[in-house]
Chains A and B, each alone.
Chain A
């Protein structure tokens, strides 16, 4: 846009040559103002509805507040409690375990299936597969959670299936089990996210030149070698994107768990999101909840930055 007003033949800017410095700064300033004008419609609502509330949360985290009466300033006291509370430590562990189900599993599944599809030269049916795989992403998470509650129920689909194939002794009340509830909830996450990863990787493989696969095959590479030497390295950008999205989903998970187990049985599926909700809306500890939210946001931000740094390095 600015390009149209800029003569293509702008002389290269060297120190001491070209138009006088004052005039140059003025034009640059004007152009910058024009550029800002274009950004403004997006910037303003973003600032008002995302940046400011976030800052407000950070501000509230310095208070002891029940949500109604006047708050008392407590400095970093809430953060000290976040660091020492044993329940919060358990929640952090659970969130870590969820990364396995939300990130590691779906990305592995997605890579393998993408590699299988990429090896086929004819690509008929790909769009159908893609639509089917993407379906879980389209369903609201609350609906997903309710569906899976029925799947995992005592008389649910899973137990019925187990009984049908003669494995009735393996049935359990999955969401009510202290051992199985966390993996059970995690696998719902895998189901939801796997489709997204596969679609991402599938479109990535379409970018990969078939000739590279042919060349690899010519050099005697088997499917496994092909996978590690061609598919995975060339899908690096997609993997980084998938990893970022899924790690965020794992760490900030709330709705799935709130609907399926509510953090139970006992505290075996409690995650930070559940605790923030409980503290703020039930427990009347808005300050502590805000502090926890700030810490969670910081952890997620760090995780995303690290993922992007690592993925940018040369293979």
Chain B
């Protein structure tokens, strides 16, 4: 039996908690930046003197933050070091999800990395002037002639609109959407690929379906129908309308007749049973796995899936570019890239810019291609056979026609990835009409850009 003569009364306990809390907040108040969120707007922004001269006599350390789980980023860093042995890199790799969550705070810190992989959502950093405007370096190095897809990392001063304003980085490697096909099945069905138009592709779907095959293997549990949807938008919309919307230009609309045609086409593919049955219950990865195992005839997805598909189907794997809406039209598809940007707090912007420029070199192309990405300099990519050869040919066609357009969900608003996924599930589930589907995307757009 214990006799506690002075129990810690509730009041004393609360007082103590309060005291500790007060002490803690005083601690925080001491560095009030921590308590008051938001970046101090530094006036760093544009790099005024654009000297491409990288000092080779002094030791420079560049911190690189990225979420690239391929061999590309480490490979590029290593290749760059061979050229500039005085520059060392400190690489901070973070898994994709954690990177998305933490990169904005990482870049706001005084110890921000010099170079960071750019991901959508980081355009908020533009407004906070935390990214370096590399336009002057771009001019000095001539980046417009070296890199495709620079418009995707060009932003207005408030960071809300892409494709206009200042340049904030370059792509290290790019990726694009194409149409994978199973050569053995295409042969068995007597189809001749590539089709010349979307309508011809759809006829092939119908034949495959009639033969009891899944014509188009997709998975929409996590919104994978955005692959065909984005590609159909690229095909049907005028390039300027397509980009204006994806880049968040004021007054842009995705509710016009061309967009309705894209959404209706996708819905028809689902309704006619061309697409994987119960597509809402299959994940995008599982769809790739199924296709690689020999299920289905076609799959619209990005070149990042090429390694998995080639491993599964071997010589039976092929890829062609999405055909245009009318015979003889130019190649247009959707794609993105691993972009690198520079912190406005970097003490060695010239060295960082030299790395960016290095990404367009022939040495870089070899590294990029090996990692499964498309090099900015398509012509210098090493020749490949089989599926990877198809991927390379398709990429060269896209670069020739300047046909790479941004994903609608990545560029237009921060909430768009979730909205697109949700709405595509409703569309595929027959819960909304194509018109209502597009109106919901537009509503998200208008809320952010109004």
Contacts and interface: CB of A to CB of B under 8 A. Distances in A.
A262 B222 contact: yes
Given A36-B12, A66-B124, A70-B39, A284 B281 contact: no
B83 interface: no
A261 B121 CA distance: 23
Contacts of A71: 36-38
Interface string A59-89: 1100101111111000000000000000000
Interface string B416-434: 0110011101101101000
B5 A6 contact: yes
Given A70-B38, A262-B222, A6 B3 contact: yes
Contacts of A67: 37, 104-105, 124
A294 to B, nearest CB: 16
A31 B121 CA distance: 55
A68 B17 contact: no
Contact of B417 (A10, A56, A265, A282): A282
B301 to A, nearest CB: 18
A178 interface: yes
Contacts of B121: 282, 284
B343 interface: no
Nearest to A267: B422
B87 to A, nearest CB: 29
Contacts of A255: none
Nearest to B127: A69
Interface stretch (B21-29, B204-212, B246-254): B21-29
B5 A31 contact: yes
A168 interface: no
Interface string A131-169: 000000000000000000100111000000000000000
A32 B8 contact: yes
A233 interface: no
A16 B8 CA distance: 24
A52 B21 contact: yes
Interface string B395-429: 00000000000000000001101100111011011
A173 B279 CA distance: 8
A265 B25 CA distance: 43
B445 to A, nearest CB: 13
B104 A282 contact: no
A3 B5 CA distance: 7
Contacts of B426: 265-266
Give the bracket for the number of chain A residues in contact with chain B.
Answer: 35 or more
A174 B35 CA distance: 45
A264 B221 contact: yes
Interface residues of B, number: 58
Given A70-B41, A265-B425, A2 B280 contact: no
Interface string B33-46: 00111110100000
B63 interface: no
Given A6-B3, A52-B28, A281-B100, A176 B282 contact: yes
A226 interface: no
A3 B2 CA distance: 7
Contacts of B41: 69-70
A154 B281 contact: yes
A51 interface: yes
A281 B108 contact: no
Contact of B124 (A28, A55, A69): A69
A263 interface: yes
Select the residue from A44, A264, A286 with max chain B CB neighbours within 10 A: A264
B344 interface: no
Interface string A18-59: 000000000010011001100110011001100110011001
Contacts of B182: none
A266 B425 contact: yes
A60 B282 CA distance: 38
Contacts of B36: 71
Contact of A69 (B5, B39, B220, B431): B39
Given A178-B429, A261-B221, A32 B38 contact: no
B264 to A, nearest CB: 19
Interface in B84-113: 100-101, 104-105, 108
Given A69-B128, A265-B426, A284-B414, A153 B282 contact: yes
Given A32-B8, A278-B415, A176 B21 contact: no
A68 B130 contact: yes
B2 A68 contact: no
B6 interface: yes
A282 B418 contact: yes
Interface string A259-291: 001111111000000000010011110100000
Interface in A80-101: none
Nearest to B222: A262
A175 interface: yes
A108 interface: no
Contact of B8 (A35, A44, A152, A281): A35
Given A52-B25, A68-B127, A286 B6 contact: no
Contacts of B166: none
B235 to A, nearest CB: 26
B398 to A, nearest CB: 29
B6 A43 contact: no
A2 B418 contact: no
Contacts of B223: 264
B391 to A, nearest CB: 28
B16 interface: yes
A48 B281 contact: no
A44 B21 CA distance: 9
Given A71-B38, A176-B221, A282-B417, A2 B4 contact: yes
Interface string A271-315: 000000010011110100000000000000000000000000000
Given A48-B24, A69-B124, 12 more contacts: A6-B3, A35-B7, A39-B8, A60-B37, A68-B39, A154-B277, A174-B281, A262-B221, A263-B422, A282-B121, A284-B414, A286-B37
Interface of B: 2-9, 12-13, 16-17, 20-21, 24-25, 28, 35-39, 41, 100-101, 104-105, 108, 121, 124-125, 127-128, 130, 220-223, 277-283, 286, 414-415, 417-418, 421-423, 425-426, 428-429, 431
11 contacts: A39-B13, A39-B16, A67-B37, A68-B108, A69-B39, A69-B124, A173-B282, A176-B281, A261-B221, A283-B415, A286-B37
10 closest Cβ contacts across the A-B interface? A173-B281, A176-B281, A176-B280, A173-B278, A31-B6, A265-B425, A70-B38, A47-B20, A68-B124, A283-B415
Interface of A: 2-3, 6, 8, 10, 28, 31-32, 35-36, 39-40, 43-44, 47-48, 51-52, 55-56, 59-60, 63, 65-71, 149, 152-154, 172-178, 261-267, 278, 281-284, 286
